[in-house]
Amino acid sequence: MIRRWGLVLIAALLLALSGAARAQQLVADLTSHLVAITTGFTGTSVVLFGAIEGGGDIVVVVRGPERETVVRRKSRVAGIWLNTRSVAFANVPNFYAVLANKPVDEIVPANLRQLHEIGMDNLKLNPAEKAKPGDITEFRAALIQEQQRGGLYDKQPGTVNFLGDKLFRASLDFPATVPTGTYLIQVFLVRKGDIVAAQTTPLIISQTGLEADINDFAQNRALLYGLVAVAMAAVAGWGATFLFRNA
């Protein structure tokens, strides 16, 4: 019995060691782990840099915070355009980008792309409510298209640049409309069609400044916010009467 446990322990240790060795094949980090959105924010770039050991290709997947997202379709009814059909998808990343040093199809085989959700076609988007299979396909495509129109899903994969054969860097670009929340940046080291190492780094994008405080206040203390909004308007209205009393 003891011997058996010992064997398991040795096996686990070996696994952990090999894992550590694998992890050392790939080291990556961001120039910044926090993006602050302030007034006049027009988008930003964060640089991802790293090093690999033993050669290979790099694929980076950037996933924004996940939310339930509703896709609606307008139809013309009696001359007026109105929303007639909709499908809600659960856990949709609000931002999605893929970067690689070569076309992704050439680096990663289809089954691994599917498994790790690499590429728009492999995003797992499940309906939050019951929907017809035909609708799901159509609205899934529309969801991706609309996210691309809004600049939140990359139309084309970005590039990872190698400096020599060990060091690499990539620029992660975020538009002005970037949603706030916690982003996950997954870095995959691929060798001969196999993912030999992977690393996930978080990136937090948040609003700061007066606008963020107001937004926070409105969301978290809604009743008080409403009362303050009414009070401010009332004071302004009363002040106006006072100012113009003698005019």
Partner 1 sequence: MDVYLPIAAVTQDVFVLLALGLCVGFISGIFGVGGGFLLTPLLIFIGVPQAVAVASSANQLVGASLSGMLTHWKRGNVDFKMGGVLSAGGFVGSAAGVALFTLLRRLGQIDLVISLSYVLLLGTLGTLMMIESVGAIVRARQPGARRRRLHQHTWFHGLPFKVRFRRSKLYISALLPLGLGFGIGVLSAILGIGGGFLIVPAMIYVLGMPTSVVPGTSLLQTVFIAASVTVLQAMTNQTVDALLALIMLLGGVVGVQYGARYGAKLRGEYLRVLLALLILAVGAKLLVDLTVPPDSRYSIVVRE
Positions touching partner 1 (CB under 8 A) are 39-40, 67-76, 79-83, 86, 88, 92, 94, 139, 142-143, 145-147, 149-150, 179, 210-212, 214-215, 218-219, 222-223, 225-230, 232-238, 240-241, 244, 247
Least Å distance between CB 69 and partner 1?
5
For residues 24 and 91, which CB has a smaller minimum distance to partner 1 in the complex?
91
Query: Taking a C-beta distance cutoff of 8 angstroms, is the pair 170, 160 a contact?
Result: yes
**Distance from C-alpha of 104 to C-alpha of 59, rounded to nearest angstrom:** 7
Tokens representing 178 are: 């970037």
For residues 16 and 227, which CB has a smaller minimum distance to partner 1 in the complex?
227
For residues 109 and 181, which CB has a smaller minimum distance to partner 1 in the complex?
181
Least Å distance between CB 45 and partner 1?
21
For residues 132 and 149, which CB has a smaller minimum distance to partner 1 in the complex?
149
**Residue 35 three-state SS:** strand
Least Å distance between CB 133 and partner 1?
18
Query: Taking a C-beta distance cutoff of 8 angstroms, is the pair 187, 48 a contact?
Result: yes
For residues 195 and 205, which CB has a smaller minimum distance to partner 1 in the complex?
205
Least Å distance between CB 70 and partner 1?
5
Phi-psi region of 93 (alpha: psi -120 to 50; beta: other; left: phi over 0): beta
Least Å distance between CB 154 and partner 1?
16
**Distance from C-alpha of 146 to C-alpha of 70, rounded to nearest angstrom:** 11
Q: Which residues of 81-120 are buried (b: 16+ CB within 10 A; e: fewer)?
A: eeeeeebebeebbbbbbbbbbeebeebbeeebbeebbbbb
